[in-house]
Chains A and B, each alone.
Chain A
Amino acid sequence: MSAPSAPPLDVAALKVRHPAAFAVDWRGRVTAGAVLLLMAAVYVAAFVWFDVPWGRIVPGFRQLGWFVLEMIPPDPGGRFWLYLDSLGETLAIALLGTLLGAAFALPLGMLAARNAMPLAIVRAPIRRVFEVLRGIDTLIWALIWINVVGLGPFAGLLAIATSDLGALGKLFAEIIESADPKEQEGVRAVGGGRIEEVRFGLLPQVLPVIAGQILYFIESNTRSATIIGVVGAGGIGLHLSEQIRVLEWKQVSFLILLILVSVAAIDYVSGKLRAAMAGRRTVAA
């Protein structure tokens, strides 16, 4: 443990000199222990509630291992172009859904920002709407939109746009609120009107940050768009759930691989774009 050249430690003397460093924080320890105990109790209680079929766990994992072995090698089973087309659909849903959501979120986000909209009576209901839109998962929106526009990618696109409107609206409002008011004051001081104030004082500050967030959402929506087909709202998810149901594991692994590669590619491109934009950013997100 200790190197031979280390000077001998007089621990007792150190304890006398620095009592605070050696004191035991009993209250903190008891609180932490109680919290951890409670969490563990809830954890165990949950398994009792779930009525877990314990007998199925070992065979389940064995079956899972067998599925994984079956997955190798990935094979499109002669449907390569069909799958590629669905992948394109997925990417299109993510791109258009995010942009549509952002197009509505920008004006509404401005109306929910304290410095752009002084009336609290306007801001509060808009914020509540954002919360409701965000609280409902994209897949639920997809089911609802299917009832309205029918099965297909268009429903998926609208579902992504709806839940993004909630998430982006809130984010945009926060970004706009964090803008530095001095630039707007500067424009006003040289005689600019209200519109010039927003155009030259506010937008140049917030647009790069907002664009970065939109890119980030396109990236993460690519992931959610891959599963939106599970309920019939277009994209590669339909094939994925179908092939899992008929236990075509080689095609499943091919589809998962396709998703991994395209998500990695989108991550890379948008990461590069965001880094390029970050060079010009003026407000911290």
Chain B
Amino acid sequence: MSKAVVQLPEPQLAALKEAYRVAARGKRLRLIAFLAVAAALIGLSAVQAEVNLGTFFAKIGGFTSYFDRLATLEDGRRVWTDPAEWFWSFKRIVRLIGETVLMAYVGTLTGFVFAFALNFLASPNLTQSAGIVFAARRGLEFCRTVPDVVFALIFVVAFGLGPLPGVLAIALHSAGSLGKQFFETTENIDMKPVEGLRAVGASWVQTVRFAALPQILASFVSFTLLRFEINVRGATVLGFVGAGGIGQDLMEAIRKFYYSDVSAILVIVIVVIFAIDVVTQRLRRTLLSKGRLA
């Protein structure tokens, strides 16, 4: 292959090589400066995060042997030789995963309702008052930035242990995350239908329903499905702080070194999350290819 390539004569090539060198030099200097800054930041962070490579290499064997123990029953056999023993608490795990998924479902749907209501107020092309837009955006930003686990911690104190604080935490955080994606979609819609409806004297609600909604609904539903997927994953750990779902059992199993229980829970969690991923992804693809819903 390469023998067929015609080589330029040396003097001509030298000029081209020189030009390449000059063109590459500026870029290279910038790259070196960038790498120096990055290296300094990494060094600083390593000190701050108490990175200890000695312990790491001394204990990295522990990580692989951890997975080995995850695959071992209490009496030393491999977990897959006796699935009945491995999944001895199958019913309880499935019930708790069901609760986890339902928490994500209720939380996402509630968050969707609030995000949907607020996003029109946060879009300057539909809401004229700059004050309302500003207030709606700051509110959504707050809900988005505070992680759901922090909300859950606070709600557990107010409402007691159980799925309710978890649902509220997911709802609040989802309202913020979805709200941002929603108003970013809404503020970029084609304004001609809006102007058309305004011109024939439609009310604000009619304008939103017949001019904005047909343009945005499909992507809203798609964003919400993706958020549901994320929330199922997030809901598995809300139990760590007492906010319902599988998390409580999982944390206890990990902390008390019940290895085969840990792996049993993780296997079911992964299967459920994977199944939900597949279904929502298929739904989203059909939605986006159809393009519109309303």
Contacts and interface: CB of A to CB of B under 8 A. Distances in A.
Instruction: Specify whether A and B are partners.
Output: yes
Interface of A: 1-3, 6, 39, 42-43, 46-47, 49-53, 56-57, 60-61, 63-64, 67, 88-89, 91-93, 95-96, 99, 131-132, 135-137, 139-140, 143-145, 147-150, 152-154, 156-157, 188-191, 193, 223-224, 226-227, 230-231, 234, 237, 240-241, 244-245, 247, 252, 256, 259-260, 263-264
Interface stretch (B76-84, B86-94, B150-158): B150-158
Contact of A227 (B59, B149, B244): B149
B70 to A, nearest CB: 9
A244 B99 contact: no
A272 B2 CA distance: 43
A154 B55 contact: yes
A93 B49 contact: yes
B50 A148 contact: no
A259 B145 contact: yes
Contacts of B49: 89, 92-93, 96, 153-154, 156-157, 234
Contacts of B234: 137
A43, A50, A57 pick with most chain B CB within 10 angstroms: A50
Interface of B: 1-2, 5, 41-42, 44-46, 48-52, 55-56, 59-60, 62-63, 66, 98-99, 102-103, 105-106, 109, 142, 145-147, 149-150, 153-155, 157-160, 162-164, 167, 200-201, 233-234, 236-237, 240-241, 244, 250-251, 254-255, 257, 266, 269-270, 273-274
Contact of A2 (B158, B201, B254, B269): B201
Given A39-B109, A149-B56, A190-B5, A50 B42 contact: no
B150 A240 contact: yes
Given A63-B158, A89-B49, A139 B149 contact: yes
A241 B241 contact: yes
B240 A260 contact: no
A43 B62 contact: no
Contacts of B150: 226-227, 240, 256
B158 A136 contact: no
Contacts of A49: 98-99, 102
Contacts, number: 175
Nearest to A223: B147
17 contacts: A1-B201, A46-B102, A53-B162, A57-B159, A61-B158, A67-B158, A91-B45, A92-B46, A93-B49, A136-B266, A143-B254, A148-B63, A156-B49, A191-B2, A226-B150, A227-B147, A247-B157
A-side interface mostly: helix
Across the A-B interface, give the 5 residue pairs with the lowest CB-CB distance, nearest first: A92-B45, A92-B48, A60-B159, A92-B49, A191-B2
A201 to B, nearest CB: 15
A50 B167 contact: yes
B50, B62, B162, B200 pick with most chain A CB within 10 angstroms: B50
A205 to B, nearest CB: 15
A43 B145 contact: no
A149 B59 contact: yes
A285 B2 CA distance: 33
Contacts of B155: 60, 64
A219 to B, nearest CB: 11
B142 A260 contact: yes
